[in-house]
Amino acid sequence: MVYAGPKAVFFTLSRSATLKKLASRYGMATPESFARRFIAGETIDEAVVVARSLQSNGLHLTLDYLGESVRTIDEAAAATRTYLSLIDSIVSSGIERNLSLKLTQLGVDVDRATCVDNLRRILDPAQRHGFFVRIDMENSPYTDVTLEVFETLWRQEYRNVGVALQSCLHRTEKDVRRMNELGARVRLVKGAYKEPATVAYQRKSEVDDAYLRLMRLLLDAGHYPAIATHDERMLDATCAYAKERGLAGDRYEFQMLYGIRRDLQAALTAKGHRVRVYVPFGREWFPYFMRRLGERPANVGFVLRGILGERSR
């Protein structure tokens, strides 16, 4: 089976302005709208409400203000300001202090130095208030620049920051080893983007095998790694390996996406594992939403039922 098929289709669709308009009209219109299954809301206040409820069920959190591929310095500055407001809101609401963000949202495509400045503007107050900030990993044209920006800040003694690495990429073992050597925290994911065969495995079995290898490398020599997946085979293998190595449950954590495998999130928490939920919010939810559909085309059925239901109301 070629793993990349549905991802390619949904990646193309995610660039359709008509579809974006249609989805934006119906996706978040009411509390029952279909996109709310995966997106916590469009505002900081809505995200905080969702986060509080997850936290009250024993889950941990990371909040992500959705947005990517900004084209101007002003848009990057606006995203930075939203993150600063988010920090204030999280501090005053008392929920867990953990953020996720993307460099293309902070302007890396427009001007790299400005992007680094924007990131520093977020990391400084985040550090003062005890936040951890994860830099999400975007598609492969951004792998080098993301890791370079991360290392620049690491050299400047920022320690409240970590990266995400994707098991689908051929290069990732080298990157995991480098992060382990630095002492940096890694979130291990399979990879959400359609990638060419020149840089990435195309079969699910290859991506999964790599995931298992990298998970072991991180549990052996990593620094509080985050094993981010909804795949029960990966999760079981992680639990088994941690047990075999005698690793305590506070040496690593699991991470899952808001709205996906809520049963597993609850079951792992009930067994005493630390599970962090990635909670995305914001008006620019369409590309993120399309990636979630691409991972599981069966989700399209529930979206279509939602749209038809809302149109007939």
Q: What's the DSSP call for residue 169?
A: B
- Please identify, among the stretches 46-54, 78-86, 169-177, 291-299, the one whose residues bind ligand FAD according to the rule CB under 6 A: 291-299
β-strands 98-101, 132-135: how paired? Answer: parallel
Residue 35 CA to residue 27 CA, distance in Å, equals 5
Nearer to ligand FAD (CB atom), residue 97 or residue 292: 292
Nearer to ligand FAD (CB atom), residue 260 or residue 266: 260
Based on the residue annotation, tell me whether 136 is a catalytic residue of this protein.
yes
β-strands 132-135, 186-189: how paired? Answer: unpaired
Q: Which of 36, 37, 97, 187 is catalytic?
A: 187
Nearer to ligand FAD (CB atom), residue 191 or residue 282: 191
Per-residue x/- mask for ligand FAD, residues 110 to 139, rule CB under 6 A? --------------------------xx--
- Is 231 near ligand FAD (CB under 6 A)? yes
Burial 107-145 (b: 16+ CB within 10 A, else e): bbbbeeebbbebbebbbeebbeeebbbbbbbbbbebbeb
- Please identify, among the stretches 13-21, 106-114, 228-236, 265-273, the one whose residues bind ligand FAD according to the rule CB under 6 A: 228-236
- HSE-up of 26 (CA within 13 Å, CB side)? 17
Residue in 88, 162, 89, 57 with CA at minimum distance from that of residue 119: 162
Nearer to ligand FAD (CB atom), residue 80 or residue 229: 229
Single-letter code of the amino acid located at 224: Y
CA-angle at 44, arms to 187 and 89, nearest 5°:
85
**Which listed residue (41, 107, 191, 280) binds ligand FAD by CB under 6 A?**
191
Report in angstroms how near the CB of residue 85 gets to ligand FAD at its nearest.
22
Based on the residue annotation, tell me whether 203 is a catalytic residue of this protein.
no
Nearer to ligand FAD (CB atom), residue 119 or residue 228: 228
**Which listed residue (228, 242, 279, 303) binds ligand FAD by CB under 6 A?**
228
- Is 292 near ligand FAD (CB under 6 A)? yes
- Is 104 near ligand FAD (CB under 6 A)? no
Q: Which of 64, 109, 136, 208 is catalytic?
A: 136
Query: Alpha helix locations (H) across the chain?
Result: 5-13, 17-27, 44-56, 73-93, 112-128, 143-155, 172-182, 204-221, 232-244, 262-270, 286-295, 299-311
Residues of this chain that bind ligand FAD (CB under 6 A): 136-137, 164, 166, 189-193, 228-231, 255-257, 260-261, 278, 292, 295-296, 299
Catalytic residue ranges = 136, 187
